[in-house]
Structure 1
Amino acid sequence: MHYVSAEGLTKSYGVNPLFRNISFHINEGDKIALIARNGVGKSTLLRILTGQETPDSGKLFIHKDVTVALFEQDPKFDENRTVLENIFHVNHPVLNVIREYEAAAEAEDGEAMAELFGKMDDLNAWEFEVKVKQILSKLNVHHLQQKVSDLSGGQRKRVALAKTLIDIGFEHKHTLLMMDEPTNHLDVEMIEWLENYLNQENVTLLLVTHDRYFLDAVSEEIWELERENLYVYTGDYETYMERKAARIESEQASIDKAKNEYRKELEWMRKQPKARTTKSKSRQDSFYDVEARAKQKIEDAQVQLQVKMSRLGGKVIEAKKVYKSYGDLAILKGFDHTFSKGERVGVIGKNGVGKSTFLNILQQLEPADSGKINVGDTIVFGNFSQQGLVIKENVRVIEYVKNIAENFPLANGGSLSAAQFLELFLFTPDKQYTYVNSLSGGEKKRLQLLSVLFQNPNFLILDEPTNDLDLPTLAVLENFLSEYKGCVLIVSHDRYFMDRLVDHLFVFEGDGVVRDFPGNYSNYRIWLKENDKKENKWQVLEAHKSQGKSLEDASGKPVSIMPEAVPGAAKKKASFKEKREFELLEKEMPALETEKEQLTAQMGAAGLSFEQLNQLSARIGEITALLEEKELRWLELSELM
């Protein structure tokens, strides 16, 4: 089914064009990721599709049976109503009875629940109610009677996301779901759940996101808004990068050709031919087209910057037996770590376990309950916090940066001016003279990041730096950090960003426990899944080995982990070959376990490159697959033995 068609859409604000003469189509089942630099029209295009804004010119067709749903970065609620009332805002019998049932369940009103039970049956609402419960639970949306006005920013985003998913799951068969940065303020488990949910629901999707793993998981096509045009790429993010590079190379060759032609035509124009023939008039008109092509500039966000930062002494930061709690909530229990030069640490854990508190304690912005934090004399912190920019009065972008410093020193002895540094972080000369208050949310985040780096710190602390940053800016930041010689501590839910930059992780597991894991985020997830499999498998093995009692299924019925025997058939005995195989397995399995433990220990060694870590992780994956195969065979043979 054809959902949307657009022909020749153009939109400008004042003299600043966002996009010009773009055309596209969206069909049922399409999954599209829309990427662009902040401020060039992503959110505007989404609002045009919902009818909240109109294009300056062009045609837009949306099928009459299609409903367009938009999840926005700044969700709008009825502030005086509760979470429950905002989520179930549609007046429909099924949604009404689910709302009443959820309210009764939260109030533990058994009598009301019993009465509503029958209504739920009559309306066949149970299946949808299960889906509602799953969405609310996975997004950690509780306290449904709380007023929306009392929620934090992260809670508002999760409530808005729950509301959007419930709406599209119930109201409309044909829905174009548009999502503007849905992963902001979600922890990693929520992001992974959302990936699975969107894939299972088979929605038609137009997505704006900076999370490259999420983008790859849920989209099949990438649209890029750049220099007023829309470019379409089929495939994942890596394919997009390769094809974009090829496109830019081709465009650059075309520009070079136009420059040569421009020089020839310019010489002809300067002769000012007197004859006004049709041929010469046509040549003069085409000259301006050639001039426009020749003067195009293709900006490249790939930046290498050698920083002349403050010298790091022998002592960086030492944390000794640090404890911190808020009432019954333990943040740290005896945390110990000595930071070394150039260390790159990722900090992960569920929302609310104390990651931001930990960062404040390290910077001595907040006291620990006990223990010591010893900070080296040469340490200069650069703190990119979630608080955002703090501006006393509205100033121009260039003035804001110059108030920090006029120049940025480089390792080679040179320097960059404030204007040059701004251009490095994708602020064009025109943008540098706009007022900070007029910047988009993403542009303000970019300016905040730039202002932190411009102070030349040697210990960077980045608390969710990727939220609201566009992909071109993230490319600049990643390249900057990959060359950065100081210490970096990153709290982020962006798995791609973490994988590229960190050497090991502080995993906040709750109740004050912090695990120091050797490896990046993907290594950690592999390790976690392997441990879960191993724990479950060996529980089954131990139960099977010790059977004086049989295993049972969820209903209590005795089961075997072997296929059922044919009734009346004699029990098969192990052959000599099978006995020998069984003996070999009992030797091979412990050997594989030992190798796996050794490789895991190697991953914790200092100085390993990203490639070495990936090789170790790949071998661990191979061993895990072998163990799984051998354990299953061991189970089969143990039945015969």
Structure 2
Amino acid sequence: MNYLSAENISKSFGDKWLFKGMTLGLSRGDKVALIGANGTGKTTLMTILAGLTPPDEGVVSVRKDIRVGYLDQAPDFDGQLPVIEVIFSGKNPVAAAVKEYERALLLGDDAVLARAIEQVDSLEAWDFEARVKEILGKLGIYDVEAKIGTLSGGQRKRVALAKVLIESPDLVILDEPTNHLDLSMVEWLENYLNTQNTTLLLVTHDRYFLDTVCNVIVELDNGNLYTYKGNYAYFLEKKAEREAVEASEIDKARNLYRKELDWIRRQPKARGTKAKYRVDAFEDTKEKAHQRKYDNQIELNIKSTRLGSKIVELNSVGKKYGDKTIIHNFLYTFKKGDRIGIVGKNGAGKSTLLNMITGELRPDNGQVVRGDTVQFGYYTQSDLEYKDGQRVVDWVKDVAEVIRLGTGQTVTASQYLQAFLFPPNKQGTMIEKLSGGEKRRLQLLRVMMHEPNFLILDEPTNDLDITTLNVLEEFLMNFPGCLVIVSHDRYFLDRLVDHLFVFEDNGHIRDFPGNYTDYRNFLAENKEQAAAAKQTVAARPQATSATPVSAPAKRKLSFKEQREFETLESDMAKLESQKADFVEKMNGGVGSHEDFATWAKAVERITEELEEKEMRWLELSEFM
């Protein structure tokens, strides 16, 4: 069943065509990822398909009985409205049916109630309240009475996403849905979209998300659409084949163009005396021969200053906001070549840690010691700053007109821009006319220009296209200094980091040796082992029975045992916290030989005490 069709649609800005004569169709059950370089028109195409922007040419048709939901990249709501009103604004037939059912219950009219029940049945809306609570909870939306105007941009994006999911439209169009979500939210959304019978079109740069959720990839390139029915690896393979064929065809067209141009010049000037079919064919050949496929001319290889032996030391640093502990006595000594990923829930304190490392924020306790040779490059989520009417190349020249590369060679500002995928015809563009992704790329470029040797990237993948991410990854893999990355992009983390700082409860930070996939596997293994241990304990009383006997009445805990059971869990949590503190001290490498011996004995003692309490907890839990 065809849900949406776009036939020969075109859109221009001024005298420039973003795309022309484009055709696309979506059928029921399709899950399509739209990808392409920043500035190629992905968001414009999405708004046209969602019916929010009219095309200059062509027609977009949607089945009459189909409801379309659209998630904007930058949602715009009335700032005075509370969250709950925004989520349930608009036409939501499921919410309306539930409200009508509740009204019928109050009225006590059997006929009205029967119609309401029939409507709820037809929409399968009996689990609506539970689904709403799940979606809001998983997206971290807890205060539904808060005014939209008091929320951050990321929180507003999550409210908009919740609104679309709760409305359960037949066709869901999502523009960068994973931006501003933490990793647990991304994984929940991934699973949710996979289990819903929804037709989906989305723009995303998250390659794991793309592979897991989508079965079709559509690329917008140079004003044309190319469809690939397969995963990301299949897309890369077929795209390379297509570009090789196109390059060969352009070369052939250029050779033919030179021959035809010579023929045109030798003919009489009067156009009517020339063979019309050959003149028309010449114009087609000319257009193809003058196509340009932009490629990087220089490798992205930035010079960084020398890094001394002392880099950054975090000595039991802590930070609180009110009664909430954000970071609890964290110790770490950075070493040359460190490649660290930072993961945790939104609001856990990731940016707080980064700001303490760079000196923008002082810890409440502990000390941050920075080496004299450390040169930070800090890429933040703040907006790009520029003057009205300022052009891209002039903005870069404000810092330097000549840039040194890691190879020792120097390049001009224009050549440097090309390495960041700004071709010459884009460098004269006014910055305010750039797409969101292009502005983020320009911001990243400026950070690199200061020759950092300690690079901190706070959500660098937001709004960047896949092409830019591939270029950035190749550069970062060869970056010689320290690298710290906060990101919800699992593919990006897996390629670039070798251990993680994982923000856990109560301000504790786990230093995990491995990338993000290693960490997820570690959690899964622990969960399986815990489940297996529980089953073993549960089965143990049955194994001791030699002959079948009647089951004795289940013994209840005494008052004293009940009190003991209630305090065991909190006691174990305290012991885990104490153990983590001692382990952090040992990992920090600061202290005398006697200190390390004392800490090791403490860890051994706490481990034994923990095992005893865990066994007692399991024993008492059987009588609960």
Q: Structure 1 counterpart of 2:35, which letter?
A: I
The structural deviation recorded for 1:558 is 11
Deviations 1:199-246 (A, max 9, x none): 111200111011111111111001111111111111011110110001
Which structure 2 segments of 5+ residues have no match?
A: 546-550, 555-586, 588-624
Structure 2 Cα separation of the partners of residues 507 and 4 of structure 1: 43
Q: Contact between 1:301 and 1:426, CA under 8 Å: does it hold in 2?
A: yes
Deviations 1:232-280 (A, max 9, x none): 1110111101100010011111111112222222332332446867663
Structure 2 Cα separation of the partners of residues 444 and 49 of structure 1: 25
Q: Contact between 2:94 and 2:167, CA under 8 Å: does it hold in 1?
A: no
Q: Tell me the secondary structure at the aligned position of residue 319 of structure 1.
A: strand
Mapped pair 1:257 → 2:259: no
Structure 1 Cα separation of the partners of residues 270 and 392 of structure 2: 51
Q: Structure 2 counterpart of 1:293, which letter?
A: K
Structure 2 Cα separation of the partners of residues 57 and 67 of structure 1: 24
Counterpart of 1:490?
A: 485
Pairs within 5 Å for 1:265-276? 265-273=260-268
Counterpart of 1:80?
A: 80
Mapped pair 1:499 → 2:494: yes
The structural deviation recorded for 1:393 is 4.9
Q: Contact between 1:303 and 1:480, CA under 8 Å: does it hold in 2?
A: no
Q: Structure 1 counterpart of 2:379, which letter?
A: F
Counterpart of 2:319?
A: 324
Which is further off, 261-270 or 20-29?
261-270
Q: Contact between 2:42 and 2:220, CA under 8 Å: does it hold in 1?
A: yes
Counterpart of 1:152?
A: 152
Pairs within 5 Å for 1:54-65? 54-65=54-65
Counterpart of 1:369?
A: 364
Q: 1:334 to 1:98 in 2, by over 3 A?
A: farther
Deviations 1:155-187 (A, max 9, x none): 11111111111112xxx5xx2110000111111
Q: Contact between 1:347 and 1:489, CA under 8 Å: does it hold in 2?
A: yes
Deviations 1:601-627 (A, max 9, x none): xxx9xxxxxxxxxxxxxxxxxxxxxxx
Pairs within 5 Å for 1:115-514? 123=117, 126-168=126-168, 175-273=170-268, 280-300=275-295, 304-391=299-386, 393-514=388-509
Structure 2 Cα separation of the partners of residues 90 and 557 of structure 1: 59
Give identity over the alignment, percent. 51
Q: 1:428 to 1:275 in 2, by over 3 A?
A: closer
Q: Tell me the secondary structure at the aligned position of residue 75 of structure 2.
A: coil
Q: Tell me the secondary structure at the aligned position of residue 331 of structure 2.
A: strand
Counterpart of 2:33?
A: 33
Q: Tell me the secondary structure at the aligned position of residue 511 of structure 1.
A: helix
Q: 1:186 to 1:19 in 2, by over 3 A?
A: same
The structural deviation recorded for 1:91 is 6.5
Q: 1:310 to 1:59 in 2, by over 3 A?
A: same
Q: Contact between 2:336 and 2:481, CA under 8 Å: does it hold in 1?
A: yes
Q: Contact between 1:384 and 1:463, CA under 8 Å: does it hold in 2?
A: yes
The structural deviation recorded for 1:442 is 1.6
Counterpart of 1:535?
A: 530
Q: Structure 2 counterpart of 1:135, which letter?
A: I
Q: Contact between 1:405 and 1:455, CA under 8 Å: does it hold in 2?
A: no
Structure 2 Cα separation of the partners of residues 510 and 256 of structure 1: 60
Q: Contact between 1:183 and 1:209, CA under 8 Å: does it hold in 2?
A: yes
Q: Contact between 2:297 and 2:419, CA under 8 Å: does it hold in 1?
A: no
Q: Contact between 1:385 and 1:463, CA under 8 Å: does it hold in 2?
A: yes
Q: Contact between 1:308 and 1:456, CA under 8 Å: does it hold in 2?
A: yes
The structural deviation recorded for 1:98 is 6.1
Structure 2 Cα separation of the partners of residues 117 and 320 of structure 1: 68
Deviations 1:450-491 (A, max 9, x none): 111122211110000111111111112112212211111000
Give the structure-2-normalised TM-score. Answer: 0.81
Q: Structure 2 counterpart of 1:334, which letter?
A: N
Q: Contact between 1:304 and 1:483, CA under 8 Å: does it hold in 2?
A: no
Q: Tell me the secondary structure at the aligned position of residue 287 of structure 1.
A: helix
Counterpart of 1:15?
A: 15
Counterpart of 1:568?
A: none
Q: 1:19 to 1:91 in 2, by over 3 A?
A: closer
Deviations 1:318-361 (A, max 9, x none): 11111222122222222111111221110001111100000000
Pairs within 5 Å for 1:563-602? none
The structural deviation recorded for 1:97 is 8.4
Deviations 1:129-153 (A, max 9, x none): 1111111111111111111111111
The structural deviation recorded for 1:510 is 2.4
Q: Tell me the secondary structure at the aligned position of residue 199 of structure 1.
A: helix
Q: 1:177 to 1:93 in 2, by over 3 A?
A: closer
Deviations 1:430-455 (A, max 9, x none): 32222222222222111111111122
Q: Contact between 1:181 and 1:209, CA under 8 Å: does it hold in 2?
A: yes
Query: How many residues were matched structurally?
Result: 540
Structure 2 Cα separation of the partners of residues 490 and 294 of structure 1: 43
Q: Tell me the secondary structure at the aligned position of residue 275 of structure 2.
A: helix
Deviations 1:391-434 (A, max 9, x none): 35552111111111112202332112111111221223232222
Q: Contact between 1:83 and 1:146, CA under 8 Å: does it hold in 2?
A: yes
Q: 1:265 to 1:335 in 2, by over 3 A?
A: same
Q: Contact between 1:101 and 1:116, CA under 8 Å: does it hold in 2?
A: no
Structure 2 Cα separation of the partners of residues 557 and 481 of structure 1: 65
Deviations 1:81-126 (A, max 9, x none): 2111111124778626868999xxxxxxxxx9x9799999975554
Structure 2 Cα separation of the partners of residues 278 and 28 of structure 1: 55
Give the structure-1-normalised TM-score. Answer: 0.79
Q: 1:131 to 1:476 in 2, by over 3 A?
A: same
Counterpart of 2:579?
A: none
Q: 1:76 to 1:308 in 2, by over 3 A?
A: closer
Structure 2 Cα separation of the partners of residues 120 and 520 of structure 1: 56
Structure 1 Cα separation of the partners of residues 553 and 205 of structure 2: 50
Structure 2 Cα separation of the partners of residues 536 and 302 of structure 1: 55
Counterpart of 1:583?
A: none
Q: Contact between 1:84 and 1:99, CA under 8 Å: does it hold in 2?
A: no
Counterpart of 1:565?
A: none
Which structure 1 segments of 5+ residues have no match?
A: 103-111, 551-555, 560-603, 605-641
Q: Contact between 2:68 and 2:173, CA under 8 Å: does it hold in 1?
A: yes
Structure 2 Cα separation of the partners of residues 462 and 306 of structure 1: 17
Structure 1 Cα separation of the partners of residues 426 and 293 of structure 2: 17
Structure 1 Cα separation of the partners of residues 218 and 533 of structure 2: 47
Structure 2 Cα separation of the partners of residues 186 and 72 of structure 1: 15
Structure 2 Cα separation of the partners of residues 101 and 253 of structure 1: 65
